Structure formats: structure tokens, C-alpha cells
Amino acid sequence: MEKKERGIEDFGCELKPKPVIERLEEALKQDLVVCLEGYVGSSDCDTLRLYKDLSLENYVEVPKKEIIDCVESPNDNFGYVKVFIPASVNVQTWSQSHTPASALRTATDDVYVTNECCYKLRAYINDHLEDCPPNLMNFYWEHCK
């Protein structure tokens, strides 16, 4: 018995691209397309905020007018979506980092000042006592005790 090749029409259905695929194909003709994934958060009416994960520490804001398409995850109760935008779109990113307060010192905290420098600085301050900038005097008192 000879095997007959079957065509799509033999299966009784029309295989057509979904509308989202058609929109993405059209967008690809004009620009590269980027897929961003995450959880929808609160934002103003002109932007879509998309959190990277449920820690809510990192997000991206996308202008809504630039979104080509958006696909929700059917099995997710937290608002996980895939958003497709042109690669040329400027987005704003935000990342929260955890830094110990001790790391937030001023740039001059770890400065080592030689004795010679302190002598010259003291001489300058004595010569310009009336018009010496306060931050220069503070620097001297902090580092040349």
C-alpha cells in the first residue's frame, strides 16, 4: 500500500499565525523587537512598570505607546507578562541596592595627608584666615590634627 502525503487541509483546520505573531512580524520589518518579561506594577498612565521578579527591587518602565504587544501568562496569578517593544525604544530602569551605611562615607574619609602637606596647608590658612574657604579649614581640622 502506497503512503499518501497529507497536506494541512487533510487535518480539517487552517493553520494561520496568531494576531500577536502577525504584529511581531510586521514590527520586525521596521526594527528589531525586544521581549521584556516581568510583573506589572503601578505606574503613571503613560508608562508600564515591569518588575523583574517578586522582590520588586528592579524594574523597567516602558512607554505604553511603544508596546507592540503584551502576552499574559495564563498560569500566573501575580501579573507575569511578556511585553514586546522595538529595540530602539528608550526605557527607564531602576534598581534598588542594599548598601551598609558605613559604606556611605565621604570621599575624604580615607585620605592620608603627609606632615609636609599639613604644614603648607596651615601656612596657607594662616595667610588667608579671613577669606579661607570653610571646607578647606574643615579638611585641615579633620586630617591634620
pLDDT at 65: 93
Contact 41, 50 (CB under 8 A): yes
pLDDT tens-digit readout, 77-106: 888 999 988 888 899 998 877 776 666 655
pLDDT at 106: 53
Contact 37, 56 (CB under 8 A): no
Q: Report how far residue 35's alpha carbon sits from residue 53's, in angstroms, rounded to the nearest whole number.
A: 15
Q: For residue 98, count CB atoms less than 10 angstroms from its CB and return exposed for 0-12, middle for 13-18, buried for 19 or more.
A: exposed
Flag whether pLDDT at 142 surpasses 90.
no
pLDDT at 81: 92
Domain positions in the chain are: 15-95, 101-143
pLDDT at 112: 66
Q: Report how far residue 86's alpha carbon sits from residue 63's, in angstroms, rounded to the nearest whole number.
A: 11
Flag whether pLDDT at 108 surpasses 90.
no
Contact 60, 95 (CB under 8 A): no
Q: Quote the mean pLDDT of the chain.
A: 80
Q: Report how far residue 35's alpha carbon sits from residue 37's, in angstroms, rounded to the nearest whole number.
A: 7
Flag whether pLDDT at 12 surpasses 70.
no
Top pLDDT among 89 and 139 is at 89
**35 secondary structure, DSSP code:** E
